[in-house]
Structure 1
Amino acid sequence: MGLFEKVFGSYSERELKKLTSNLDKIDSFEEGLKKLSNEELKLKTEEFKNRINNEETLDDLLPEAFAVVREASVRVLGLRHFREQLMGGIVLHQGRISEMKTGEGKTLVATLPAYLNALSGNGVHIVTVNDYLAKRDSEEMGSVYEFLGLKTGVIVHGLTNIERREAYNCDITYGTNNEFGFDYLRDNMVVYKRDKVQRVLNYCIVDEVDSILIDEARTPLIISGEGDKSTDFYKVADFFAKSLKSEDYTVDEKSNSVILTEEGLKKAEKYYHLENYADAENMQIQHHTVQALKGNYTMKKDIDYMVKDDEVIIVDEFTGRLMEGRRYSDGLHQAIEAKENVKIQKESKTLATITFQNYFRMYDKLSGMTGTAQTEENEFREIYGLDVIVIPTHEPIARQDTPDLVYKTQVGKFKAIVNDIAETYKTGQPMLVGTVSIETSELLSALLKKKGIPHKVLNAKYHEMEAEIISHAGEKGGVTIATNMAGRGTDIKLGEGVVEVGGLKVIGTERHESRRIDNQLRGRSGRQGDPGFSRFYVSLEDDLMRIFASERFQSIVEKLGLDDDDVIESKMVTSAIESAQKKVEGNNFDIRKNVLQYDDVMNQQREVIYGQRAEVLEGEDLKAQLEKMMEEVIYNAVNTHMNSDKDDMNEDIQKLLAYLEEIYLPKNIITIEEIKSMNIEEVKAKLISLARDLYDAKEAQISSEQMREIERVILLRVVDTKWMAHIDDMDHLRRGIGLRAYRQQDPVQAYQFEGSQMFDAMIHGIEVDTIKYLFHVHIQKAPEREQVAKETTTNKTDDSLKKEPKTRKDKKVGRNEPCPCGSGKKYKNCHGLNE
C-alpha cells in the first residue's frame, strides 16, 4: 500500500465514504415503515411511480425505496439487509461493479437496485450464469417484488415465444446471459414486430459479472443455419494428421497452434498430391489440415471437450461445465468429430452473431456483482466503462490462507494432496478440492478410492445436482471434488460441529491461469466470519508453470536437485507463480480486446442494419424511402455507364438499358436515340419518371395497402439475405487479415477499411435487389409476409438463384459431364443434383 492510500484510503474506501449520508437516510425511514400495514407498504410502489411522473429522479427516491425493500424483505424472507448490503445496492444503482465476498448475500443485494429501477416502467434484467440460479433467484427474490406489487419473470431454455414475451414484459426479469443474447439476435430476424420478445435494454445487473463479461467474452453468440460443405475431407485430413510423427510438426502451447515442419510439409505434398502445399489454390486443403492438426494435438478429451452419446460437447474451461448446443467454429468441431470417429455434422452458416461485450454495452445502464473483480479492474473500465468498488465484509474474514506447496513432479504433488486429504478426513473437517479439468478430478477420485476415502465428484454436468452437492459440502467429514468453480452461486453452509474442527478446508490441486479463479475457490471457505483454511498445491509439470514460468526460475529449481517428495515453500516461488498468472491474464485480455476491436467494426454495421429492420417492423410508410433507393440505383447506373468521353455512346447506352431492364425497365420503352439526345441529368430525370409511373401502375393494380405490406416484407427479406452473406464475407476477410502485419499494415485498420467498403457494396446490393424484386413480384392473394417472402425467392429474375436445368430427353446427363444449361460447369457442380 502506497503512502497516499495509507493517508486517504483506497479508491473503494474513498467512494464508500460518499455513500454514508444515503445510508443514514435509509435507516431514518425504518421506524416509520415498520408501523405500516402490508397493504400500506405495498402502496408505496404506486406512490413512487407517481413521484417519478412528477419529475422526481430515481436518485431522489433511493433512500426511501431501499428502506421499503428492506422492510418487505424482513416481512417476506425474514432477512434484513446489512449496512454493507445497502452499500452494494447503491453501487449497483450507480452503474458500477460491487465486489462482495462469497456468502455476503449478493442475491439479496440485487433486490434493492432492481426494485428502484423497475419503478421507471422500462424493465430490469438480472443475469445469472445458469438456468438453475435464474429460476431459484426469481422465485426467492420474486416473492419480495410481488409483495410490493411488481411482477417477476424468468427466461430459461425451452420457453415459447409467448412465454418469453410475458417474462420480458414483467418489471424484473431473471435469466442467463446466453438466453438474453440469443433473444436479442432472434428479435432482429423476425418478419413481424409482434414476434419480438424483448423490450428496450434499460438496466442490467450481471451476477458473477467476471464470469460473464470476462471469461465468456472470447466466444461470440452465433445463431447458425446448416451449411452445405462436404464433411468427407475432415476424415481425409484427420487420417493425415494421425499418420504424422513428432518430428513432422511443432506445437506452440502459448498460442494453442500446430505448425508443420519441413518434413511435415513434404509429407503433406505427397499425401495430397500437391506440387506446393503453400500455394493459394490449396487454401481449402490447408484449412482442413490445420484444423485436423489442432484437433489431434492441442484439443484434449475430458479437458477441452467430452464425447457423450456419440457427440462431441465442449467443456467450459472456466467452470468445467458442459456447454450443450455450443460448437467450435471454423471447422474445428468437425475435425474433433473426425478424430473421435463420431458422426461429423455439416459445417454451419452464421445467420446472426454478437459478442457479449457488445450486447451488454447496449444497456442504458449496466452494473454487476461478484466476489472477484479487482484483478480485472482495468479491463472492466476500458471495455465496459465500469469501475470496481470493493464492499467490506459484514464480519471480519477468519479464513487462514496458507502459502503454496510446490513439488517437482505431478506424481509427488498428488501423493501429497491425497495424504493431506487422508489426514484431514480423520479430524472430520470438511474439504472442497478444486481441480482445473474433468481428467484431474477423475484421477484424484481414483487415488482417493484406493485409500478408501468416501467422496463426491462434481463435474458440473447438471446445474440442479451441482447446487445440491455443493450446498452439502460443508457438512462434517465431507470430501467434495469440484471442477473449477462448479456450483458457483450456491453458499456452502457449515454443518453442525464443523466450526469446532476449523471450518471448511479448501485445497487447490493446481493454480489456474487466472488469479481471480483461484480467489473464487479460496472464497468458498470463510463466509460471514466462519473459520476456514485454504492451500494450493503446485508442481513444476503443471501447464501454467511449464509454459509460462520464467526460464531463470526453472533453471534455479533444476539446480536444487529435488526428489518427487521434496516440497518448496518460498516467496520466490509465490512470486514466480503470480508472474506466470499475470502473463496469461495479459494474453487473455489482449485476445478479448482483439476480438472486440474486430467486432466493433461489425457492431457499427449491425446497428445500421438492425436499425433499418426496426423501422420496417414499426410499420412506417416506406414508399418515400424506396423511391429514394430507386433514384440511387438509377443515378449509380447512369453515372457508371455514361461517364466516358467516347464519341460513340451506343455501346454504353445499350449496356445501361440492359442493366435497367433486368431491374425494372420494360424493353423498348425508351430508345438509344432518345437517350443520346439528352444530357446526363435529363437521362436521370427521364428514367426516374418512367420508374415512378411504372411503380404507380403496379400499385394501382395491387392496391396501396397491399403494396405497403409487400414493400416491408421484400425489404426485410433482402436485408436479411444480404446481411447473412455479409457476415460470411467479413468472417473470411478476418481470417486472412492477420497476414497484413507482414506488410507493415495494421490488420485491424485494414479490416475496418475493407469491411467498410464491403458494407457500402452490400447496401448498394440491398437497394438494387429490393427495387428488382418490387418490380417483378406477382401476388395472387392477400400478402401474408411469409407468402411474399416465398414468392420473392422463386422469382426467376434473381441471378443468384439456381437456374432450371435444361436436360436432354434423348440422353441422360452424367454428373461429371458439362451441364446442358450452358453454364460451362459440370452438371453436379452446377445444380448439386444426382444423375
Structure 2
Amino acid sequence: MFQTIAKSIFGSSNERYVKSIGKLVNQINALEEQIQAFSDEELQAQTAKFRAQLEEGKTLDDIMPEAFATVREASIRVLGMRHFDVQMIGGVVLHRGEIAEMRTGEGKTLVATLATYLNAIEGKGVHVVTVNDYLARRDADWMGQLYRWLGLTVGVIVPNLGEQQRREAYGADITYGTNNEFGFDYLRDNMKHERGQMVQRPFNYAIVDEVDSILIDEARTPLIISGPTEDKSELYTTIDAIVKQIDDSFYDADEKTKNITWTEDGIEKVEAMLAEAELLETENLYDVENTQVVHHLDQALKANIMFKRDTDYIVKDDKVVIIDEFTGRMMDGRRWSNGLHQAVEAKEGVKIEPENQTMASITFQNYFRMYPKLSGMTGTAATEASEFWDIYKMNVVEIPTNVPVQRIDEEDEFYKNTVDKFKAIAKAIREKSEIGQPVLVGTVSIEKSEMLSKFLDEEEVEHAVLNARFHEMEARIVAQAGRLGAVTIATNMAGRGTDIQLGGNVDFRIEDELGDMPEGPEREAAIETIKQEIAAERDKVLEAGGLFVLGTERHESRRIDNQLRGRSGRQGDPGLSRFYLCLEDDLLRIFGPDTLFARMMNSNLEDGEAIGSRWLSKAIETAQKKVEARNYDIRKQVVEYDDVMNDQRKVIYEQRAEIMDSETVDDVVVDMRHDTVATIVGEACPPGSYPEQWNVEGLKERVAEVLGIEPPIDAWMQEDTLEPELIEERLRTEADAIMDRKIAENDPSIWRQVEKSILLERLDFHWKEHLATLDALRQVVFLRAYAQKQPINEYKQEAFGLFESMLHKLREDVTGILLKSELRIAPQQQQQTLPDLPDFLTGHIDPLTGLDNSADGDGSATREALFGALAGSPRAAAGPGGSVSENPYADMEISRNAPCPCGSGSKYKHCHGAAG
C-alpha cells in the first residue's frame, strides 16, 4: 500500500530515469533550428567534424546532442521521417548500452539510427543484429540511405556471401546481419590459418533488434559448426523398428522436459530385443560397451514419442525439415544433434544422412558478452528484465508511447475443449470480417493453423495462412493484415518486424501493383490513387474498431502473448485483443494447477459455452510464470556449462591468433618437444625413484613411438651416475639434432610455414576431439547428482583435467609428426597459397535435448588441412567416410600407426596410407 502511494507521488524508478533523459532531449531540440539552417553540404560535413572532435579528445557523450540533432534533420531530408522526442529518449538508452522497450509501431528501426550513427563515427564498426535475413537486407537498404548520405559506409551479412564480400561488409562503419550469421562468422574466423583470411574486426558495439527473441528465446541453444562422421543408417533403422514395437507401459514420458525414461520391465524387454538383433556387446544393456546402442535407443524413443510431425518438423521432398518452435519457420539445412535427426529420419522412412561431429560452438550469451558495449530494443522485455541484468548486465527501460495506447485488452474466453473453442473463434472472426474489421490470429503450431483454416472454410471466411510452409511471402502478408476485412492466421507471430498499417501498406501495394510500370506521370498518378484508396480504407477500418488480435491459446511465455497483442493499437490507433482458451491447451494440460482442472470439470459448463474470470486469467499467468522460471533455469544452466568451455575456448582462440600473427613458431615447437621429452622420461623414471624401479622397456617403447628414435638406453643404464635429468638431456639433444638436420635440408622460410601449418592443424584436430568429449561428459554428468554431487562442479573439475590432457596430447602429436615425417617440398609448390574453406554444416543446437533453433539457413565453412605444400600432389577431398582417391603424403615417411597428418583422427594406415 505504502509502495503504491509513494509511486503515485514520486513515480516509478523507470519514470524518473526517463524524465532525467528528457533534459538531454531538450538540449537536442534546442539545436534543431540551428541544424535546420544548414545546407545539405554543411549537414553532410558534420560527420567529419565529429570525427575531428573525437580525435581532439571529446567523448561520444560530449557530441551526442549535436549528433542526434544531425541525424534527425538528415532523416527528414533523406527519409521524410522526423524522430519524435520519445524516439530520442530511446536513442539515448541504446547509446548507454541498455534495452529500450518500445511498443509496436513506435519506430524502433528509426530509433536505432541515432545510436548507430553516433557510435559509427569512431570508425570501429557497429553491428545491427536482426532476427532474419529479410529484415537485415530491408533495414540496411532503408536506413542505409541515411547513413550513406551522412558519409558512413554500410554492409550487410546474409547467407551465401563470399569471404571477400563478408570481409568488406564487416569493414564498413555499420554492418547489418542476423545473430546466426555474426556468430557463425566468429566461429569460422577462429578455424582459419591466417589472420588475412578472417572476416570480422575486433568487437566494438552491437544493437540487437528484437532483443528478447535473440538473447532470450534463442539463447537456450548454442551455435554449432559440425562435419559428418561415418554412416550408421542400418543401426538407426534397426533400432527404430525395435522402438516401434514398444508400448507406453514400458517407459515414462515427461512432456515438460521432453525426457523419457525406461521402466524396469522396459529395460528387460529392449535388452531381449537388442540381443536378438545382435546389437549388444554384453548381456547387460547398461554396460559401458553398450553405451552407443543405449544412446541411439533413447534417441529413437524420443523421436517416436516426443517429436510430432507438422509441429516439431515436416517431411518435405523426402527430407525431415525442422520447424522453429518460436517463429514457426522451416529451417532448411538445419539438423538436430546427437543422432536425434537420424532417429526422426528413420521414424519417417526417409534417407538417413550421416551424423555430425562438433568442430566449434558458442552460446549467444558468451558471443554477445564479448562486445564492449551491447544494447537492444524490443516491444516486450520487461517480464525478462532480471535475466537481462543477470546474464548481460543490461538494464530494461520502458519508453513511453508517442500517443497514448487506445487498444482494449479483453478478458480471456474459456471453453471445455478444442472443438468448441475453434467453433467460437471461427464465428467471432466471421462476425468481425463482416463488419470490415481486420483480424490477426495467432496460433502456436502449424497443426493448429491448419485446423483453424478448416473451420474458417466451413464459415466461408476468406483468409491467409502464414506459417512455416508459406514463410516466403511472410512480410507481404503481414504488411497487408490491416486491410478492410482481412483475416490473417500467423504461427507464433511469424512476420515479426513488419509493421501492420491500417488500410494497407503503401510501399508493398506500389511494388506489387506498379512494379513493371516505368517512371513518369502515369506512375505518379497511379501512386496517388493507391494512397487515396488506402486513406479511405483506413477510415473504414478505424470505424470498424481497428485491428482485432485473436490468440487461439496462451503461449508458454507472457512475452510472446504481449508480442501478439502489441500488433494492434499502433501509434494511438484503436484496437482489440482477446485470447480463447480451453482445458486441452498444452499450457494448461501440462503446467496448469490441478485445482484449475478440478473446478472447471466440476462446473456445469455446457458444450460450446464460454466463461471468463479474473481468477482464470490469474491461474494462467501463474502457469506461465512457472514455465518462464523453468526456461530461465535451462538457459542459465546452458550458460554455466558453456562458461567452463568458454574459458578454454578463449585460451585456444588466443593461441591460434598468436600462432597466425607470428612469423615463426620455432620457439613454440621447441618448447613442445622439450616438454614431451620431459613427460616421457618423467612417466618412466619418476623423480626420487631408484634406477631399478624405472620402466626402461616402457621408456624405449614411448621414445620410439613418439620421437621415432632408438637411442642406446640399455647402454646408458650401465652408467653408475645416470639420473633422469641426464636421460632427458640426451633425448633432447638427439631430437634437436634431427630437427636441425631437417631444417638444414629445406628452405628455412618454407620449413617455418610447415611448422606453423602442422601446429594449427593439430591444435584444431585436438580441440575438435576435446569438444566431442565435453559433449559426452555433459550428457552423463547429471547422473552424479544421485551420488549427492553437484553436476556443474563435477563438470568443471573433469573438463579442466580433460583440457590439460588435450594439451599434453597436442604437444606429443606435433613433436611426433615433425620428428618422424620426412618432408620433401617441391620447388614449384613453395609459393602455394592457403586453400579456400570448404562448406560444413551449421546448427543452433540445444545441448540438453538436441533441439535445433536456427533461424535461417546458410552455407558455412570450416577449414581443411593445410598440407598441400608438403607433398608432390594436391590433397584430394575426403568423403563422409574419410576415404580419399590419392595420397598426398606418399613422399613422407610416416609410421602406419601414427595419426594421419590430414587431421581426420584415423591412423595413417586407415586413412591416406590406405590409398597409397
What TM bracket, shorter-length normalisation?
A: over 0.9
Residue 304 (str. 1) matches residue 312 (str. 2) = yes
1:652-703, CA deviations, whole angstroms, 9 ceiling, x for partnerless residues?
Answer: 3453344234334643377524876343334434443444443333222223
Aligned twin of 2:837: none
Aligned twin of 2:530: none
Q: How many Å apart are 1:324 and its aligned residue?
A: 1.8
2:613 to 564, 570, 591: 570
Q: How many Å apart are 1:18 and its aligned residue?
A: 2.5
Aligned twin of 1:611: 654
What is the DSSP-based 3-state SS (H/G/I as helix, E as strand, rest coil) of the residue aligned with 1:624?
A: helix
Equivalent pair of 2:716/2:722 in contact (CA under 8 Å): no
What does 1:372-383 correspond to in 2, within 5 Å? Answer: 372-383=380-391
Aligned twin of 1:69: 71
Equivalent pair of 1:650/1:672 in contact (CA under 8 Å): no
Equivalent pair of 1:665/1:691 in contact (CA under 8 Å): no
Residue 168 (str. 1) matches residue 167 (str. 2) = no
What is the DSSP-based 3-state SS (H/G/I as helix, E as strand, rest coil) of the residue aligned with 1:593?
A: helix
| Structure 1: unaligned runs, 5 residues or longer | 804-822
| Separation in structure 2 between the aligned mates of residue 676 and residue 476 of structure 1, nearest angstrom | 102
| Separation in structure 1 between the aligned mates of residue 407 and residue 99 of structure 2, nearest angstrom | 24
Q: How many Å apart are 1:162 and its aligned residue?
A: 1.0
Residue 755 (str. 1) matches residue 799 (str. 2) = yes
| Separation in structure 2 between the aligned mates of residue 831 and residue 239 of structure 1, nearest angstrom | 37
1:539-576, CA deviations, whole angstroms, 9 ceiling, x for partnerless residues?
Answer: 01101001111112211112213222121211110111
What is the DSSP-based 3-state SS (H/G/I as helix, E as strand, rest coil) of the residue aligned with 1:243?
A: coil
Aligned twin of 1:235: 237
| Separation in structure 2 between the aligned mates of residue 727 and residue 332 of structure 1, nearest angstrom | 18
2:44 to 42, 66, 73: 42
What is the DSSP-based 3-state SS (H/G/I as helix, E as strand, rest coil) of the residue aligned with 1:635?
A: helix
What is the DSSP-based 3-state SS (H/G/I as helix, E as strand, rest coil) of the residue aligned with 2:374?
A: strand
AA paired with 2:619?
Answer: A
| Separation in structure 2 between the aligned mates of residue 433 and residue 801 of structure 1, nearest angstrom | 59
Q: How many Å apart are 1:29 and its aligned residue?
A: 1.8
AA paired with 1:165?
Answer: R
Aligned twin of 1:82: 84
AA paired with 1:177?
Answer: N
| Separation in structure 1 between the aligned mates of residue 602 and residue 719 of structure 2, nearest angstrom | 90
What does 1:169-318 correspond to in 2, within 5 Å? Answer: 169-273=171-275, 275-318=283-326
Aligned twin of 1:744: 788
After TM superposition, the structure 1 stretch with the greater mean CA deviation from structure 2, 794-803 or 273-282, is 794-803
Per the alignment, do residues 798 and 130 of structure 1 end up closer, same or farther by CA in structure 2, a change over 3 Å counting? farther
2:22 to 17, 20, 23: 20
AA paired with 2:45?
Answer: L
| Separation in structure 1 between the aligned mates of residue 288 and residue 673 of structure 2, nearest angstrom | 40
Residue 398 (str. 1) matches residue 377 (str. 2) = no
AA paired with 2:393?
Answer: G
What is the DSSP-based 3-state SS (H/G/I as helix, E as strand, rest coil) of the residue aligned with 2:809?
A: helix
1:253-311, CA deviations, whole angstroms, 9 ceiling, x for partnerless residues?
Answer: 11212233344333212311274434443322222221111111111111111111111
After TM superposition, the structure 1 stretch with the greater mean CA deviation from structure 2, 615-624 or 91-100, is 615-624
1:115 to 117, 124, 128: 117
Q: How many Å apart are 1:644 and its aligned residue?
A: 5.7
Q: How many Å apart are 1:206 and its aligned residue?
A: 0.6
Aligned twin of 1:581: 624
AA paired with 2:788?
Answer: Q
After TM superposition, the structure 1 stretch with the greater mean CA deviation from structure 2, 513-522 or 28-37, is 28-37
Aligned twin of 1:437: 445
After TM superposition, the structure 1 stretch with the greater mean CA deviation from structure 2, 674-683 or 293-302, is 674-683
AA paired with 1:94?
Answer: R
Q: How many Å apart are 1:388 and its aligned residue?
A: 0.5
| Separation in structure 1 between the aligned mates of residue 711 and residue 470 of structure 2, nearest angstrom | 70
Aligned twin of 2:567: 524
After TM superposition, the structure 1 stretch with the greater mean CA deviation from structure 2, 546-555 or 270-279, is 270-279
| Separation in structure 2 between the aligned mates of residue 776 and residue 189 of structure 1, nearest angstrom | 26
1:692-738, CA deviations, whole angstroms, 9 ceiling, x for partnerless residues?
Answer: 44333322222331222122111100100000110111111111101
| Structure 1 vs Structure 2 CA RMSD | 2.3
AA paired with 1:179?
Answer: E
What is the DSSP-based 3-state SS (H/G/I as helix, E as strand, rest coil) of the residue aligned with 2:579?
A: strand
Per the alignment, do residues 674 and 119 of structure 1 end up closer, same or farther by CA in structure 2, a change over 3 Å counting? farther
Per the alignment, do residues 492 and 697 of structure 1 end up closer, same or farther by CA in structure 2, a change over 3 Å counting? same
1:624 to 667, 692, 706: 667
Q: How many Å apart are 1:647 and its aligned residue?
A: 4.4
After TM superposition, the structure 1 stretch with the greater mean CA deviation from structure 2, 214-223 or 498-507, is 214-223
Aligned twin of 1:810: none
Residue 711 (str. 1) matches residue 713 (str. 2) = no
Identity of paired residues, percent?
Answer: 50
Equivalent pair of 2:412/2:578 in contact (CA under 8 Å): yes
Per the alignment, do residues 82 and 420 of structure 1 end up closer, same or farther by CA in structure 2, a change over 3 Å counting? same
Equivalent pair of 2:708/2:820 in contact (CA under 8 Å): no
| Separation in structure 1 between the aligned mates of residue 49 and residue 339 of structure 2, nearest angstrom | 57
What is the DSSP-based 3-state SS (H/G/I as helix, E as strand, rest coil) of the residue aligned with 2:818?
A: helix
Equivalent pair of 2:686/2:694 in contact (CA under 8 Å): no
Equivalent pair of 2:708/2:816 in contact (CA under 8 Å): no
Equivalent pair of 2:446/2:468 in contact (CA under 8 Å): no
Q: How many Å apart are 1:627 and its aligned residue?
A: 2.3
After TM superposition, the structure 1 stretch with the greater mean CA deviation from structure 2, 559-568 or 132-141, is 559-568
Equivalent pair of 1:710/1:783 in contact (CA under 8 Å): no
| Separation in structure 2 between the aligned mates of residue 297 and residue 664 of structure 1, nearest angstrom | 53
Q: How many Å apart are 1:802 and its aligned residue?
A: 7.1
Q: How many Å apart are 1:623 and its aligned residue?
A: 2.2
Aligned twin of 1:801: 899
| Separation in structure 2 between the aligned mates of residue 617 and residue 661 of structure 1, nearest angstrom | 31
Aligned twin of 2:585: 542
AA paired with 1:138?
Answer: A
Residue 332 (str. 1) matches residue 340 (str. 2) = yes
What is the DSSP-based 3-state SS (H/G/I as helix, E as strand, rest coil) of the residue aligned with 2:314?
A: strand
Q: How many Å apart are 1:651 and its aligned residue?
A: 5.7
Q: How many Å apart are 1:602 and its aligned residue?
A: 0.9
Per the alignment, do residues 832 and 594 of structure 1 end up closer, same or farther by CA in structure 2, a change over 3 Å counting? farther
Aligned twin of 1:153: 155
Aligned twin of 1:681: 725
After TM superposition, the structure 1 stretch with the greater mean CA deviation from structure 2, 723-732 or 454-463, is 454-463
| Separation in structure 2 between the aligned mates of residue 91 and residue 799 of structure 1, nearest angstrom | 61
AA paired with 1:390?
Answer: E
Q: How many Å apart are 1:649 and its aligned residue?
A: 4.2
| Separation in structure 1 between the aligned mates of residue 637 and residue 137 of structure 2, nearest angstrom | 35
AA paired with 2:103?
Answer: K
2:778 to 734, 737, 745: 734
Equivalent pair of 1:220/1:354 in contact (CA under 8 Å): yes
| Separation in structure 2 between the aligned mates of residue 676 and residue 142 of structure 1, nearest angstrom | 80
Aligned twin of 1:807: none
Equivalent pair of 2:231/2:353 in contact (CA under 8 Å): no
Aligned twin of 2:513: none
AA paired with 1:427?
Answer: I
1:125-165, CA deviations, whole angstroms, 9 ceiling, x for partnerless residues?
Answer: 00101111100000000000000110100001111111111
After TM superposition, the structure 1 stretch with the greater mean CA deviation from structure 2, 365-374 or 704-713, is 704-713
Q: How many Å apart are 1:184 and its aligned residue?
A: 0.8
Aligned twin of 1:473: 481
| Separation in structure 1 between the aligned mates of residue 911 and residue 152 of structure 2, nearest angstrom | 60
| Separation in structure 1 between the aligned mates of residue 652 and residue 59 of structure 2, nearest angstrom | 34
| Separation in structure 2 between the aligned mates of residue 246 and residue 768 of structure 1, nearest angstrom | 51
Structure number with the bigger relative contact order (C-alpha 8 A, sep ≥ 6) is 2
| Separation in structure 2 between the aligned mates of residue 655 and residue 244 of structure 1, nearest angstrom | 51
How many residues are matched?
Answer: 811
Equivalent pair of 1:228/1:346 in contact (CA under 8 Å): yes
Aligned twin of 2:853: none
AA paired with 2:634?
Answer: I
After TM superposition, the structure 1 stretch with the greater mean CA deviation from structure 2, 59-68 or 5-14, is 5-14
Q: How many Å apart are 1:42 and its aligned residue?
A: 1.3
Q: How many Å apart are 1:231 and its aligned residue?
A: 1.7
